[in-house]
Structure 1
Amino acid sequence: MILTTCAACAAPLALDAPRCVRCKVRYCDSTCQHDHWRRGHKQMCKKIHRGGNAEQYHADKKYKEAVAAAVEKCAADTKGQTCYICTQALHWKTKEGLVRGCACRGTSGFAHVSCLAEQAKILVAEGEENNLGLKAKEARWERWHTCSLCEQRYHGVVLCALGWACWKTYVEREKTDCHRFHAMAILGSGLRAAFTLGSPQKEKEKFSKEALRVFEAQLSELQTLHKKAKVELQLNTMMNIAACYADLRWHEKSLSMKREMYYKAEAFNYPFEGRLQIAINLANSLIVLGHHAEAKSFLRQTIDMAIGVLGPTAKLNHVRVLTLRAILGNVCFRSAASREDVAEAERIIADVLKNERRVLGPAHPETLSTQRDLEKVRAVLRA
C-alpha cells in the first residue's frame, strides 16, 4: 500500500478505506470519491484499470519518471559506454540510456536500469522455483540494491529507479508475500537516496515524506499482516522511519526512536551489520543535537567493538566502520577545544578518505562528503 493518501483530498487513509470498484483508486469516504469522479476520474478510470489498477499504474508511471531522472543525472559519466548486461548503448526495447550509481570505476558498471531490474527479477524467480535456501535467496535479492560487479550498494537516483522497478515488479502480489514486503523497503530507501547533499530543502522534504509514507505503511502491514515476523524486521522498518524523521529535521523524535532501537538491537541479538547501521544513525542524531561528548565516547566504543568482531582490517575496508570513523573525525572537529583536537580530526578524516577512495571510488557520495569535511578541517588548520 504505497498510495496512502486520498486521491481527492490527500488525507491519510485507513487500511479499509473505500476504493473505486473498477480501478481500485482509494478515497477517505464516498463524498471524496464522487467529487473526484466529477473532476476527471471518469476519463482516467478505464486507462488506470487497463494499466493494472491504481497501485500498478502509479508504480509504472513513477518508474519511468525515475529512470529518466537517473539517465539524465548519469549522462556525462556514461557517454560513449555500453551496458555490461546487454552490450548496447540504448536499451533495445525502452530506448533508455545508461546509468552507473555504485562503486565501479573506469569502464565497468554501466548498465540500463531495465537490464539491472530484469537480472534481479530472473535471479529471484529462479530462487523461488528451485526452492533454494535462505542465504542463497537473500544473495539473489541483493541484486535489487547492490551491484554484482563491485558488491557495493547503488546510491542516489539509480537506487531510486531500482526501488520503483522492484516495487512495480511485486506490487500485485498478496500483501502477505515476503517479496512484496521487502520491495517496500527497497522503494523507501530509494526515495531517501533520490536527493543528495546540497539539494534544496523542499526537494529533500518531498522525497523524505514519500519515503516516510512507504515505511509507515510497511510497519502497519508488519503489525497487522506479519504478526509472527522477527524483531529484526520491525527494527529495520523503525530504523528507516527514524532516518526519515532526521531528514525532515524532527531531530528529537528521531533521536528518541534511535536510542530505543539500539537498546532493542542489543537485547534481541540483532545482526551485527544492522547494529552498526543503527549506531551510525544514532551517532548522527547525537551530533545534530549537540551531544558531542556522548557521541565521541559512543563512537570510540562502537569502532573498537567492530574491530574486535570483524578483525583489524575492518578499520580500512569495511564500509560501515569507515563511516563510523568519518563521523568520529567530524565530532572531534566540532567539539575541538585546541589545535591538537583539530589535528586529530584531520588525521582521522584524511585516513578515512584515502580508504573510501579505494573501497567506494572517488565519485561515491560518502567519499565526496568525507572530502568536504577534510577541506573544512584543513581550512581551520591553515587559519
Structure 2
Amino acid sequence: ALGWACWKTYLGRPETDKLRRTAMNLLGGGLYSAEHHADAASVMEAELSMMRRIGGSDNSDIFVAQTNLASTYQALGRLDQAMCLRREAYAGGLKLFGEEDNNVLSAANNYAKSLLTLKRSEEAKALLRKTMPVARRVLREEHRITLKMRWNYALALCCDPSATLDDVSEGVSTLEDAGRIARRVLGGAHPTTEGIENALRDAGAALAAREGDCVTSVCEAVAAVNLLDGS
C-alpha cells in the first residue's frame, strides 16, 4: 500500500527526480515482498530501463536494481534471465566498488548460485575459487557470505556430472567445516546453518553410496539424493 501511495504521489515528476525513483523502488519491493512477482518484475524492469537511460552504465543504483530484478526473475523461474542479470551485476559492481566490497562478494555468490541452478558447475567452481579467498581474507571465515560461498562451492564440487570421489570428499569436508562454523556463530536454527547441514547430510549419503559401490558413478549418487534441493 505504501509503495502504491508513493508511486501515485510522484508519478508526474520527471524521471530524473529522486523521489520518483524512490517511489518506483518501493513499489517494486513491496510487490516482491507480497509475492506478486510478475507485477514486481514489470515495475523493476521499468525501473532498470529508466536508470540506464538517465544514469549511465556506471551508476551504482543500476547495481542494486539488477540485483533486485534478478531475484524476482529467480522467483518466477526465469532462471537464464536471472543468471544473466547476476553476471552483469557482479561485473558492474566489481568495476564500481572493487573485489573486496561486501555487496560485490554477495553478488558473486548469487551469480555462482544461478550457475549451479542451471547445472553449470564448472563455471561456478571457477568463480568461487577466485572469490572465496577474497571473502575469507576480508570478511573472515565466520561471515555469512563466506559460509554461503563455501556451501555453494561444495555443491559445485558434488553436483558436477564429472565429479570424482575426491571431488565429493572435498565437498563433504568443506560442508563439515562450514557447518561447524555456522553452528557456532549463527546457531543451529539459522537458515544458513540448516541449509549447510542438510547439504552435508545429502553429500555424505552420496559419498557413502559411491564408496560402497551402490551406484556406478558419483553423478548417480548425487542425483539420487537431490543435493541441489534447498540450496
Same fold (TM > 0.5): yes
Distance 2:20 2:93 in 1: 24
CA separation of 1:295/1:171 partners in 2, compared to 1, >3 Å: closer, same or farther? same
2:110 match? 281
Residues 185 and 300 (structure 1), Cα distance of their counterparts in 2 relative to 1, 3 Å cut: farther
Task: Show the counterpart of 1:347.
Answer: 173
Counterpart code for 1:328: Y
Query: Matched residues in 2 for 1:300 and 1:262: separation?
Result: 15
Report deviation, 1:178. 5.0
Query: Contact (CA 8 Å) 2:4, 2:27: kept in 1 or not?
Result: no
Asked which structure has the greater CA Rg, the reply is: 1
| Alpha-carbon distance in 2 for matches of 1:223, 1:187 | 17
1:184 alignment partner in structure 2: 25
- Summarize the Cα distance change of 1:366–1:180 in structure 2 as closer, same or farther, 3 Å threshold: farther
- CA-CA distance at 1:237 after TM superposition: 0.3
Q: Does 1:211 align with 2:71?
A: no
Take 1:377 and 1:296, find their aligned partners in 2: how far apart are those partners? 17
Structure 2 stretches lacking a partner, 5+ long = 12-16, 210-231
**Percent identity of equivalent pairs:** 26
Look up the match of 2:119: 290
Kindly tell me: are residues 359 and 284 of structure 1, through their superposed partners in 2, closer, same or farther at Cα, counting changes over 3 Å? same
Aligned partners of 2:27 and 2:194: how far apart in 1? 24
Q: Which runs of 5+ in 1 are unaligned?
A: 1-58, 61-166, 195-205
Give the number of the structure with larger relative contact order, counting CA–CA contacts within 8 Å between residues 6 or more apart.
2
Match of 1:269 in 2: 97
| Distance of 2:27 and 2:154 partners within structure 1 | 30
TM-superposed CA distance for 1:284, in Å, is 1.3
Q: Which has the higher helix share?
A: 2
Describe how 1:152-171 pairs up with structure 2 within 5 A. 167=3
- The one of 154, 159, 176 equivalent to 1:334 is 159
RMSD: 3.2
Do structure 1's residue 257 and structure 2's residue 85 form an aligned pair? Answer: yes
Is the 2:7–2:27 contact (alpha carbons within 8 Å) kept by the matching residues of 1? no
Relative distance call for 1:329 and 1:378 in structure 2 (3 A) is same
CA contact (8 A) 1:188 1:214 kept: no
- Structure 1 position 331, deviation (Å): 0.8
Per the alignment, residue 363 of structure 1 pairs with: 189
Shift of 1:228: 7.8
Deviations 1:208-249 (A, max 9, x none): 32432342243255456x648961111110122122222322
CA distance in 2, matches of 1:250, 1:211: 14
Residue deviations 1:73-106 (CA, integer Å, cap 9, x gap):
xxxxxxxxxxxxxxxxxxxxxxxxxxxxxxxxxx
Distance 1:235 1:185 in 2: 16
CA distance in 1, matches of 2:23, 2:177: 36
* TM-score, normalization by structure 1: 0.45
Q: Given the superposition, is the C-alpha separation of residues 212 and 359 from structure 1 closer, same or farther in structure 2, using an over 3 Å criterion? A: farther
Q: 1:376 to 1:180 in 2, by over 3 A?
A: same
User: TM (normalized to structure 2)?
Assistant: 0.71
Q: CA deviation at 1:181?
A: 1.2
Counterparts of 1:210 and 1:353, CA distance in 2: 37
Q: What is aligned with 1:380?
A: 206
Change (3 A) 1:229 1:299: closer
Summarize deviations over 1:297-338 as a string: whole Å, max 9, x none. 210110112234x16xx12x2111111111001111112633
Q: In the TM superposition, what are the counterparts of 1:106-117 in structure 2 within 5 Å?
A: none
2:77 is equivalent to residue 244 of structure 1:
no
* Aligned counterparts of 1:324 and 1:223: Cα–Cα separation in 2: 30
SS state at 1:268 partner: helix
